[in-house]
Amino acid sequence: MRDFIESILCEDYGRGDLFEEVFEKSNKQAKAYVIAREEGIFSGEKYITRLCEQCGIEILSSKKDKESFEANEKLLQISGIYTQILKIERSLLNLLQHSSGIATLTHLYVKALKDSPTKLLDTRKTRPLLREFEKYSVRNGGASNHRFGLDTLLMLKDTHLRHIHNLESFIKSARERLSFGTNIEIECENLELFERALRAGADILMCDNMPIAQIQKAIAMRNATNPKTLVELSGNITLDNIALYGSLGADAISCGAIIHQARWIDMSMKMH
């Protein structure tokens, strides 16, 4: 995380803060606070803690990750050298607004699932070099992470299946070469492929953009053939329809929107 914070600061500092060059009271102490302009779920605590530590700024009080907040509520109070606070202002707000935005939207999706046992997962549709940060934000919103990268889980999508002619033989061969406990997931766009993948012995089957009626048949097929196989739903799942998908009996729903459609929470910093 240290390198991540350093890169954020270097991006903003450039060759140095011009205000620091012209402000005469370079050692002046000050206090500041961050205020929310709207309600949401707080996220970014561990990142801003490291940011402040690296810049010699003391955190006097702070919301905790996963805590809710209201509009006009103070989220964070800090103390330190005035020019140092000014130098990190934008970086600190960017981290909090971005992370809290993802956590807040994720929380709304989780809440919409109500009492469904179906888990909400994120995807790999993350901004370049921000995957760890954005997936951390998802967890603070109450959802779980799907795979972090290509080395976490063997997932076969349509582009992989294009050149796999015997799925059962491929999975058998893959299990012999992969480390023990590595799961194999197959993305299925129709019932025919779902049945083939189920009989081939995949650990997880994703129903991708399947109509509701086909999903119901797929889950019934799984229950009758191999109840231990996990079923994941994905594609065109929104806040308006996630409760319906959550009632179908799948084990998980993966949704990229909780990251890439999240809106930053409106916050600002004020000086005492």
Q: Coil, helix or strand for 267?
A: strand
Among 8-17, 28-37, 68-77, 200-209, name the one with the lowest average pLDDT. Answer: 8-17
Sign of CA dihedral 13, 14, 19, 23: positive
Q: Report the run of H or E that residue 94 belongs to, with start and end.
A: helix 82-113
- Tell me the average pLDDT of the chain: 96
The answer as to CATH 3.20.20.140 being correct for domain 1-110+263-271 is: no
Angstrom distance (rounded) from CA 210 to CA 144 = 22
Q: Is the predicted pLDDT of residue 27 greater than 90, yes or no?
A: no
Q: Is the predicted pLDDT of residue 110 greater than 80, yes or no?
A: yes
- Say what the pLDDT of residue 25 is: 78
Angstrom distance (rounded) from CA 36 to CA 72 = 5
Mode of pairing for the β-strands spanning 119-121 and 252-254: parallel
Q: Report the run of H or E that residue 185 belongs to, with start and end.
A: strand 184-188
Q: Report the run of H or E that residue 62 belongs to, with start and end.
A: strand 58-62
- Say what the pLDDT of residue 24 is: 80
Angstrom distance (rounded) from CA 236 to CA 257 = 9
Q: Is the predicted pLDDT of residue 160 greater than 80, yes or no?
A: yes
Beta carbons of 68 and 260 less than 8 angstroms apart = no
180: left (phi over 0), alpha (psi -120 to 50) or beta: beta
- Mind spelling out the 3-state secondary structure of 199-256? HHCCCEEEEECCCHHHHHHHHHHHHHHCCCCEEEEECCCCCCCHHHHHCCCCCEEECC
Q: What is the DSSP string of 9-50?
A: HHHHHTT--HHHHH-S-TT-EEEEEEEESS-EE---HHHHHH
Among 15-29, 32-46, 119-133, 149-163, name the one with the lowest average pLDDT. Answer: 15-29
- Say what the pLDDT of residue 21 is: 85
- Say what the pLDDT of residue 16 is: 87
Domain locations along the chain: 1-110+263-271, 114-261
Q: What is the mean pLDDT of residues 166-177?
A: 96
Residue type for 167, please? Answer: L
Could you report the per-residue pLDDT of 72-105, keeping only the tens digit for each? 999 999 999 999 999 999 999 999 999 999 999 9
Beta carbons of 189 and 169 less than 8 angstroms apart = no
Q: Report the run of H or E that residue 74 belongs to, with start and end.
A: strand 74-81
Q: Is the predicted pLDDT of residue 192 greater than 90, yes or no?
A: yes
**Confidence band for 185, pLDDT divided at 50, 70 and 90:** very high
Beta carbons of 144 and 254 less than 8 angstroms apart = no
Q: What is the mean pLDDT of residues 102-118?
A: 97
Q: Coil, helix or strand for 184?
A: strand
In this prediction, what percent of the chain has a pLDDT beyond 90? 92
Sign of CA dihedral 188, 229, 166, 254: positive
CATH architecture classification, 114-261? Alpha-Beta Barrel (3.20)
Angstrom distance (rounded) from CA 52 to CA 54 = 5
Could you report the per-residue pLDDT of 233-262, keeping only the tens digit for each? 999 999 999 999 999 999 999 999 999 999
- Say what the pLDDT of residue 20 is: 86
Residue 118 CB neighbour total at 10 angstroms: 19
